[in-house]
């Protein structure tokens, strides 16, 4: 079922709120992984506000859907989403990555409600997600597990070991998402360690691959709904084409903003850019 205009506009506004919160948190913290945080934010918006079965008042609910943010360095985006959704207080974001804070740059599942696994050591998230998906099958639970990978992270061999296992065990209750922003800390993924033909590799490993614009709310929603209804017997990989630093003109497509700090001028320029970006997107609805 497609999103109606009113709901789509609501989600566009929510995505803007979350991008703005991610920006504010980066500014307050002094620095953060904002580039990848902005590239993944539309994915997180759709997951939290339309797809996942979760309850912030009961973060350990046994029947909840699970989210493994394998690219755990974008904790600044995840923290913003969790605060907005009610898992933590928004004022706690002001302490993000500061001494003594429970909100480290990589979120700790033992300290932050709503975080299903501590990640950041790249390459391990898909294995963790598979374990959760298989546990659901063994215990006859109907929850889904969602795993968000970075494309640069897919240089890690452990990702492909996990991918083989996901297909082998037919873990169709696991939906894998690749945030394909084409950049990593040292530059373009294809220059650092070529991934292409990237989507075809996932197909060869036994996945049903769905390629979408990772900044198109409607396309993401449809992809997730179809993934849950999938009857192919193959696990689904949502290949989300995104832009690093999406919404901030001077960050977009710039690997230098994989991690960065904002002075007052850059912060104010970024806020104005996000407002213009949101207005352009809403006008296209």
pTM score of the predicted model = 0.98
Candidates 252, 256, 241; CA nearest to 277 is 252
Give which of 235, 255, 236 is closest to 245, Cα–Cα: 255
Q: Are strands 183-184 and 187-188 parallel, antiparallel or unpaired?
A: antiparallel
Residue with tokens 């009857």: 231
Q: Which of 134, 126, 140 is nearest to 207 (CA)?
A: 126
| Residue in the block written with tokens 């990589």 | 106
Q: What is the CA radius of gyration of the chain?
A: 18
Contact 77, 38 (CB under 8 A): yes
DSSP 32: B
Nearest CA-CA partner of 144 in 238, 216, 57: 238
Tell me which fold the domain 5-245+261-283 belongs to: Rossmann fold (3.40.50)
Give CA separation, 120 vs 39, 125, 200, 216, 246, in Å: 17, 9, 26, 26, 21
Q: How far apart are the first and last CA of the chain?
A: 17
For residue 166, give both structure tokens: 């996901």
Q: What is the pLDDT of residue 2?
A: 87
The CA distance from 237 to 8, in Å, is 23
Measuring CA to CA, which residue among 192, 185, 177, 186 is closest to residue 36? 185
Q: Provide block-wise average pLDDT over 10 residues at a time, the chain (285 residues).
A: 93 98 98 98 98 98 98 98 98 96 97 97 97 98 98 98 98 98 97 98 98 98 98 97 98 97 98 98 97
pLDDT in tens, 42-61: 999 999 999 999 999 999 99
Residue 225 pLDDT: 98
What number of helices (H) and strands (E) belong to the chain? 9, 7
Q: Could you tell me the residue ranges of all domains in the chain?
A: 5-245+261-283
């Amino acid at each position: 079922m497609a999103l109606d205009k009113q709901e789509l506009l609501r989600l566009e506004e929510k995505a803007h709120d979350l991008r703005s919160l991610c920006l504010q948190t980066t500014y307050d913290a002094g620095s953060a992984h904002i580039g990848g945080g902005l590239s993944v934010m539309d994915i997180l918006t759709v997951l939290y506000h339309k797809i996942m079965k979760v309850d912030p008042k009961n973060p350990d609910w046994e029947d909840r859907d699970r989210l493994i943010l394998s690219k755990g360095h974008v904790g600044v985006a995840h923290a913003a989403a969790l605060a907005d959704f009610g898992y933590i207080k928004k004022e706690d974001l002001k302490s993000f990555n500061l001494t003594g804070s429970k909100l480290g740059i990589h979120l700790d599942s033992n300290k932050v409600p709503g975080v299903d696994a501590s990640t950041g050591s790249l390459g391990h998230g898909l294995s963790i997600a598979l374990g959760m998906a298989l546990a659901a099958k063994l215990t006859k639970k109907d929850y889904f597990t969602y795993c968000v990978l970075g494309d640069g992270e897919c240089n890690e061999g452990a990702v492909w070991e996990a991918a083989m296992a996901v297909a082998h065990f037919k873990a169709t209750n696991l939906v894998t998402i690749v945030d394909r922003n084409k950049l990593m800390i040292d530059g373009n993924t294809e220059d650092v360690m070529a991934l292409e033909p990237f989507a075809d590799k996932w197909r060869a490993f036994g996945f049903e691959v769905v390629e979408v614009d990772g900044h198109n709310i409607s396309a993401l929603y449809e992809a997730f709904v179809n993934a849950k209804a999938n009857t192919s017997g193959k696990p689904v990989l949502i290949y989300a084409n995104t832009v690093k630093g999406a919404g901030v003109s001077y960050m977009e497509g710039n690997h230098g903003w994989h991690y960065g700090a904002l002075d007052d001028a850059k912060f104010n320029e970024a806020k104005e850019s996000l407002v213009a970006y949101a207005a352009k997107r809403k006008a296209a609805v």
